[in-house]
Structure 1
Amino acid sequence: MRPSSGLPRCGRRCPRSGGRSTRCSSSPVSTASPSTSWMRMRSGYSGWMSLSEVDPDEEVQGEIHLRVEVLGSQGSRRLRCSVLEARDLARKDRNGASDPFVRLRYNGKTQESTVVKKSCYPRWNETFEFELAEPAGEKLCVEVWDWDLVGRNDFLGKVVFSVQGLEAAGQEEGWFRLWPDKSKPIQDGRRGSLGSLQLQVKLRDETVLPSHCYQPLVQLLCQEVKSGRQDGQVHLVTLLDETTTAECRQEVAINLVKLFLGQGLVKEFLDLLFELELAKPCEPNTLFRSNSLASKSMESFLKVTGMPYLHFVLGPTITRVFEEKKYVELDPSKVEIKDVGCSGLHRVQTEGEVIEQGRQHLQSYLGELLDAIVRSAPACPPVIRAAFRQLFQRVGERFPQHQHAKFVAVTSFLCLRFFSPAVMTPKLFQLRDTHADARTSRTLLLLAKAIQLVGNMEPAAGRAKEPWLSPLLPALQQGTARMRDFITRLVGTEEEQGEEEGEGRPLGPPPAVVKEGLLLVPKTRGKGPLLAAAAGKKLHFCLTGESLSFGKSPSAERIGAIALGDILAAEKVEEKSFGSSHVMQVLYMGTGGQQETAYLQCKCVNELNQWLSALRKVCGNNPRVLRSYHPGVFRGDKWSCCHQRDRTGLGCDRTRHGVTLQDWSDPLDPTVEAQRLFQHLQGLRGTLREKYWELLAPEDAQNGPRGEDAALPEGLSRLFAVLGDLESCHRRAQPPAPAAPALLQLQT
């Protein structure tokens, strides 16, 4: 099923020239024409949409490269259409590809191209001609189909041209988006009969300037963090916290965290947030429970820096829960009574027996998870331990009579905002590839509740709220004591941390590991001598802060390694190059000073994007990165992508060194973070001024905001000046309005 009246899919090519790029953070997911409500709401869409059955002739994607021209003189004119190639076609076959061919229709005549087997990026390079009708009122229809040996062919999309518009232009060439077939009549009752789906879609179109344009803003924010909190003054971070709405606070927090991570000031930034938050009137038992900028920033910080640690701690227990599929229930109102026993000796379990059995299973999972948490202090990344150490000390100084509060402050982030959400929905944290079924989901929910109660450090409070959790109370009390000891070790001094790591305790995966997993080395020439003996085998690859190494298994001796400084680029490979998708290439400098290529196949597109993100993140500052590459492979005497015969020549496509995933695993891109912070601050200029005077002198708030001429502090004045300069840069960077196209492309 899909929305029956939809939103426009983003088909505009994103121009990148002169150091300027345009990014679209999200796009709608339907090929229907734009709705009136969408066109009115330029920033997005929110509402209910009817569901309808899926028509395969409407579900299309991709683009086709065509050259269409009118030849000859009056009386003997011809219409010529050169079908060059297509890209990103829909996958219609079980092998994850299609067998596309092109069908051209004009003036009652039809011609077809050859079939390209197993490819969503076919190349035809074929030319077709039609005698031009007089008058040239007919339309030229270019259709793309997936050829099937058995059954009917599958429709992949079409482009319709007005020949009259073409006569005026003479010739047109370019990439044209494939459109669905809207010519078939809609059956009565087919639409709007399957219910409705509520959607919220946000469209963001950003112009990112060259990085040097954002340096004044970045330097100002860094200076504000370094100066720290000063009594009697309103800090810029406080103004940002007070004026940012709850809807966008999460996004602002992650932008700030990534920006200061790139500047090496994330600990100082978090410490400033802790200090400003603790300066407000607050109670020790509700500390950091609100969605303030401090809470959201610390939560984002854990997701950006602590995902490998999270996987190390939770991975084994989550895997066990998914594999065992035990029935776990403690709530009497939800208990399901079933027959037990062998054949001929059936009996019905009592409610008490079901609850006791569920308690044993849940207690076993909780015990295993607590064991992993308690042992994980040495494996926790040092930057996270340093942040928790600062938080622990700040809360202890703020509430000297409530020493319990500093432990709760740490667990409120580590357990309530990090471990517990990951246990409840492991797919969102990349712990599983799919969501859990109903039974497993209930077990994970109960386990997440148990972790929350342990994190509250007061299980008795949880028992009063949900009395049916009382059978688990002894395990929760024991877990609370163990969690307290764990926090004490976690926030120990740096000297204690060094001694701890030297005691020979199991550290788990080294903190320096960025990404690891099994990858297949395809059989092909041109993979470089390093992996020549591994063709057709799966190897365990490990990416650290020093190298990309590989061996037969995680514990086996490393067979070889590529130093990070030698990696030149990491890019995708065209699907047709190997007859399978999800292949990447790592271009590196070999021992003899020659450029080599390692081709590696991932199991899915998500894993492919994660590997590309990780490689680009750790190699982003390499001095010898490539600016171009070949998306194909060199077979015989030419490249499969551009047919060049020079194996060492310049690539036919530009390399990419930026973001590939829009979530926690993104590489740091400080230019994009600065641009988004600029947009947010630009929209708050008037509000920042008003809030400053309100916070500086609350007793004068009833008199209204101060005038524009009132003196502002140096930091706020500099901020307004920097925002004004950036706004001017954006105005100068706006591209000229494009000329109206001579060729009329119809969408019917």
Structure 2
Amino acid sequence: MAKRSTLFIRIVEAKNLPIKDITGSSDPYCIVRIDNEAIIRTATIWKTLSPFWGEEYNVHLPPSFHTVSLHVMDEDSLSRDDVIGKVSISKEALTSKPQGLDGWMNLTEIDPDEEVQGEIHLQISLLGDGDVPHKLCCRVLEARDLAKKDRNGASDPFVRVRYNGKSHESAVVKKSCYPRWNESFEFELDDTLADSLLCVEVWDWDLVSRNDFLGKVLFNINRLQSAQQEEGWFRLGPDKPKHSQHEGTLGSLRLQLRLRDETVLPSSHYQPLTELLSQSVGTHLNGNWPDLIMLIDETTTSENRQEVANNLVKLFLGQGLIKEFLDVLFKLELEKTTEPNTLFRSNSLASKSMESFLKVAGMQYLHRLLGPTINRIFEEKKYVELDPNKVELKDAGCTGLHRLHTEADVIQQSSSLLQSYLSELLAAILQSASYCPLLLCQALQQLYYRVQACFPDPEYRKVKFIAVTSFLCLRFISPAIMSPKLFHLREKHADARTSRTLLLLAKAVQTIGNLDTLVCCSKEPWMIPLQPAIQQGISQLKDFITRLVSCHDSEDLCLQTRMSLQCGTMEKEGFLFLHKTKDKCIPMTSPFKKYYVTLSKDTLSYSRTQHSKKTSFISLPKIRAVEKVEEKCFGSPNVMQIISSEDSGQQETLYLDCKSVNELNQWLSALRKACSHNTNTMSSYHPGIYKADRWSCCHQKEKTDPGCDKTRHGVTLQEWYDPLDPDLEAQLIYRHLSSVQHAMRDKYYELIKQEHADEADSDKDHKMVDGVTRLFTILQDLHEAHAAVEEKERLKNKNVFLELQT
């Protein structure tokens, strides 16, 4: 059994942001923090006070997290980035809205006294003769992950303990966010103050300016008297918030957030549900009525259709039945469609499932297909415009030494450039038939022939091609061209000029995908210069589809493809800067060297170039921790460390320097997920480095010291290359089916009533009754299993409370 929290974040847009630059505008971006740890950075949108991002993320979190905050920043190339404001949402606020938060939220000022983080290790006890305590003892042991208040990337923390009007202060620990004090402070207990408070505050000492507040913990002495002693790590809280003079003037942020807490039971609990769903697509292939999939299709609402489609696609991928599942949906969609021109154009479960399947099974194919053309457009930054109403001659430059471009010149040059990009892309599409994933080919193949059988008349000869292009071009290739960052093709959004070029190219691809130039050119006549290229593209695309659906590969290769998807393609690669250390001291100059790093299913390997032989390996089962490194250690905020153990037992650390916080967290996520089943993991680590005979974080001199901060295995980002998790997908499907159980029952009775009129289909009726009855029984069994787990957890928490009381 495992507990998992997943947070869906969609950063949509902002409005009415304040001006931060002398140009009268700002260059805003967002940083997402989980308990003050930065995990996501959006793209910068240049020169605007109303930016649109439209970026989506799924973050897997430990159930113990407290707060999600989004900081809106203004990027400056010459000085430090300016802080515009923030939105903070507590875990309690997210939990209270299971349907999610969706709307505009005002940005608030960032108060340094509220921006606290970290924990402090305390032991508080009551001392006295017999049963009557007369002294209060507070032992301050250590703290971890304190906020960095000084320019050197650390703080100089000390502790102030206050009780009954008296206070004591600890020694100052210089340059550390992981200080160790091990000091005790005693106070005379005042019996008259039944509800008196012990306050433990942490401060950053400053020689010249005033001390900075780092956080505090409050203890009710009256409650403590029943326990006599309390020891543990306590989360530091903020001071009382001050009234903001900028309230309502910093703009607002439009967000969508949804937190899902899941208790995932052992696999045996989900096996009946998985088997029943697998049988439902299997019986369909044998000519029987599709029962459960039909009911799911009929009762899934538009609000959660995409999520349900994602879960079903991953579950059937894991079972090796994705083709069969998609074929059931194709058939159901065709049975409901009377007008072929609208086929697969709605946001049905079939359309959403095929969309999800393309991203899971075809993302590497998409990168290979579009990468060269997209990179060329970004690098060339040519001015391209076909619409005469939008031509800006000042942006077009000159044709010669003294002659400015005319409008006709701009359109002529733009047409030539777009035709060049389009020709390059179409040539790449034609060549891609040889490397298109087999499972993708087979899914498109069965779609093609299913539609051909449904619309065999000569007047509908284009429909089977349009069915394929409606997914491949309109829902996959074209959106990726318009927004390369959202499909991981580029690290940043395009600027305004490049974005317009991408939009025009995407329009051309959409027109080719519709297999009709007349409709586009009648609505947007300025597209006419591209008509010959589009017409040729339609012919080439038809040839490509014909080749794609004619593949007849062996069953062995098919099984191999299934198995690779079933296990997940946990492969990540790219250039990083590395530094490897055993007992060597870190040199004063930059110790990092550029390597090409590859993460496969079993190893992390690296070499000096992409295609050279991998000479260095780390076996994934030997990795004990994957964590961030403090910025002050190497002067970079994006360094991570991989701590592994050799066969001899000796510990080894590999440092990786990434170019951005997004790249850093993508590698952290990939490695943590790849090592999720490792048994010999560390519970604590050093976020600093061992230099000058001591750890830079906590100043401990023993190199083998176990660590001053807890490891953070739980925070990971969901990516398209994540390995499949059958139990989690089954749990998510169970939760959805439970929420629509009554609707499914009503729909089931409605279908039965319709079928009773046809006595010849009694066998079909019997099979549906059997399948649906089993489904409701399985859902009830899972409900009872979850209830038992919750009751066990409740009793456990109750026993812990009683132990504290006694």
**TM tier relative to shorter chain:** 0.7 to 0.9
Aligned equivalent of 1:252: 308
- Report the AA paired with residue 694 of structure 1: E
* Selected match of 1:462 from 501, 520, 523: 520
Find out whether 1:67 has 2:123 as its counterpart.
Answer: yes
Aligned equivalent of 2:552: 494
- Report the AA paired with residue 143 of structure 2: E
Find out whether 1:406 has 2:464 as its counterpart.
Answer: yes
Contact 2:157 2:176 (8 Å CA) reproduced:
no
Aligned equivalent of 1:227: 283
Aligned equivalent of 2:431: 375
The percent identity for this pair of structures is 47
Within 1, Cα distance between the matches of 2:15 and 2:92? 19
Aligned equivalent of 1:440: 498
- Report the AA paired with residue 312 of structure 2: L
How large is the Cα RMSD of the aligned pairs?
A: 4.5
Bigger Cα displacement from structure 2, 75-84 vs 244-253: 75-84
Within 1, Cα distance between the matches of 2:724 and 2:574? 22
Deviation at 1:488, TM superposition (A): 2.4
Find out whether 1:416 has 2:474 as its counterpart.
Answer: yes
Contact 2:273 2:775 (8 Å CA) reproduced:
yes
Secondary structure (helix, strand or coil) at the match of 2:717 reads coil
* Selected match of 2:405 from 349, 354, 371: 349
Aligned equivalent of 1:281: 337
Aligned equivalent of 1:632: 685
Within 2, Cα distance between the matches of 1:651 and 1:146? 19
Within 2, Cα distance between the matches of 1:325 and 1:392? 38
What are the superposed Cα offsets for residues 627-665 of structure 1, whole Å, 9 maximum, x if unpaired? 433653796999999999997999998996x88223424
- Specify whether residues 521 and 716 from structure 1 end up closer, same or farther in structure 2 by C-alpha distance, changes over 3 A only: same
- Report the AA paired with residue 69 of structure 2: V
Find out whether 1:389 has 2:438 as its counterpart.
Answer: no
Q: In proportion to residue count, which structure has more strand?
A: 2
Aligned equivalent of 2:608: 552
Within 2, Cα distance between the matches of 1:118 and 1:651? 11
What are the superposed Cα offsets for residues 84-119 of structure 1, whole Å, 9 maximum, x if unpaired? 2223x5556677x53352432413535245346365
Aligned equivalent of 1:29: 69
- Specify whether residues 698 and 3 from structure 1 end up closer, same or farther in structure 2 by C-alpha distance, changes over 3 A only: farther
- Report the AA paired with residue 607 of structure 1: E
Structure 2, unmatched stretches of 5+, are: 1-13, 18-32, 36-60, 71-86, 558-567, 585-589, 758-765
Contact 1:50 1:195 (8 Å CA) reproduced:
yes
Within 1, Cα distance between the matches of 2:308 and 2:210? 51
Contact 1:524 1:535 (8 Å CA) reproduced:
no
Within 2, Cα distance between the matches of 1:340 and 1:279? 52
Find out whether 1:201 has 2:241 as its counterpart.
Answer: no
- Report the AA paired with residue 555 of structure 1: H
What are the superposed Cα offsets for residues 444-466 of structure 1, whole Å, 9 maximum, x if unpaired? 22222222122222232222222
Contact 1:24 1:204 (8 Å CA) reproduced:
no
- Report the AA paired with residue 654 of structure 2: Y
Structure 1, unmatched stretches of 5+, are: 12-20, 500-510, 528-533, 702-709
Within 2, Cα distance between the matches of 1:611 and 1:475? 41
- Specify whether residues 148 and 223 from structure 1 end up closer, same or farther in structure 2 by C-alpha distance, changes over 3 A only: farther
Find out whether 1:216 has 2:272 as its counterpart.
Answer: yes
Within 2, Cα distance between the matches of 1:614 and 1:10? 18
Deviation at 1:493, TM superposition (A): 1.9
Within 1, Cα distance between the matches of 2:65 and 2:685? 28
Within 2, Cα distance between the matches of 1:449 and 1:467? 13
- Report the AA paired with residue 433 of structure 1: E
Find out whether 1:601 has 2:656 as its counterpart.
Answer: yes
Contact 1:628 1:651 (8 Å CA) reproduced:
no
- Count of residue pairs the alignment pairs up: 692
- Specify whether residues 554 and 234 from structure 1 end up closer, same or farther in structure 2 by C-alpha distance, changes over 3 A only: closer
* Selected match of 1:157 from 212, 215, 218: 215
Deviation at 1:165, TM superposition (A): 3.7
- Specify whether residues 742 and 428 from structure 1 end up closer, same or farther in structure 2 by C-alpha distance, changes over 3 A only: farther
- Specify whether residues 666 and 55 from structure 1 end up closer, same or farther in structure 2 by C-alpha distance, changes over 3 A only: same
TM-score between both structures, scaled by the size of structure 2: 0.74
Secondary structure (helix, strand or coil) at the match of 2:573 reads strand
Find out whether 1:583 has 2:640 as its counterpart.
Answer: yes
Deviation at 1:685, TM superposition (A): 1.3
Contact 2:604 2:618 (8 Å CA) reproduced:
yes
Deviation at 1:177, TM superposition (A): 2.7
Secondary structure (helix, strand or coil) at the match of 1:522 reads strand
Aligned equivalent of 2:236: 178
- Specify whether residues 570 and 377 from structure 1 end up closer, same or farther in structure 2 by C-alpha distance, changes over 3 A only: farther
- Report the AA paired with residue 333 of structure 1: N
* Selected match of 1:730 from 786, 790, 794: 786
- Report the AA paired with residue 554 of structure 1: Q
Aligned equivalent of 1:449: 507
Aligned equivalent of 1:265: 321
- Report the AA paired with residue 581 of structure 2: T
What are the superposed Cα offsets for residues 39-85 of structure 1, whole Å, 9 maximum, x if unpaired? 86454334443333333333334433333334456797243131422
Find out whether 1:695 has 2:751 as its counterpart.
Answer: yes
Find out whether 1:81 has 2:139 as its counterpart.
Answer: yes
- Report the AA paired with residue 667 of structure 1: P
Secondary structure (helix, strand or coil) at the match of 1:479 reads helix
Bigger Cα displacement from structure 2, 244-253 vs 689-698: 689-698
Contact 1:396 1:406 (8 Å CA) reproduced:
yes
Contact 2:643 2:654 (8 Å CA) reproduced:
yes
- Report the AA paired with residue 632 of structure 1: Y
Find out whether 1:572 has 2:626 as its counterpart.
Answer: yes
- Specify whether residues 405 and 215 from structure 1 end up closer, same or farther in structure 2 by C-alpha distance, changes over 3 A only: same
Deviation at 1:553, TM superposition (A): 0.8
Secondary structure (helix, strand or coil) at the match of 1:667 reads coil
Deviation at 1:548, TM superposition (A): 4.2
Contact 2:201 2:217 (8 Å CA) reproduced:
yes
Aligned equivalent of 1:363: 419
Within 2, Cα distance between the matches of 1:650 and 1:345? 66
- Report the AA paired with residue 514 of structure 1: E
Within 1, Cα distance between the matches of 2:399 and 2:711? 68
Bigger Cα displacement from structure 2, 101-110 vs 663-672: 101-110
Deviation at 1:687, TM superposition (A): 0.9
Secondary structure (helix, strand or coil) at the match of 1:583 reads strand
Within 2, Cα distance between the matches of 1:233 and 1:24? 46
* Selected match of 1:680 from 721, 736, 750: 736
Deviation at 1:356, TM superposition (A): 2.4
Bigger Cα displacement from structure 2, 454-463 vs 212-221: 454-463
What are the superposed Cα offsets for residues 273-310 of structure 1, whole Å, 9 maximum, x if unpaired? 22332233343322211111111111111112222222
Within 2, Cα distance between the matches of 1:406 and 1:222? 28
What are the superposed Cα offsets for residues 545-588 of structure 1, whole Å, 9 maximum, x if unpaired? 5754432111223324467xx74447413525993554242747
Contact 2:127 2:135 (8 Å CA) reproduced:
yes
- Report the AA paired with residue 411 of structure 1: T
Aligned equivalent of 1:707: none
Aligned equivalent of 2:587: none
Deviation at 1:23, TM superposition (A): 5.4
Within 2, Cα distance between the matches of 1:417 and 1:124? 56
- Specify whether residues 471 and 25 from structure 1 end up closer, same or farther in structure 2 by C-alpha distance, changes over 3 A only: farther
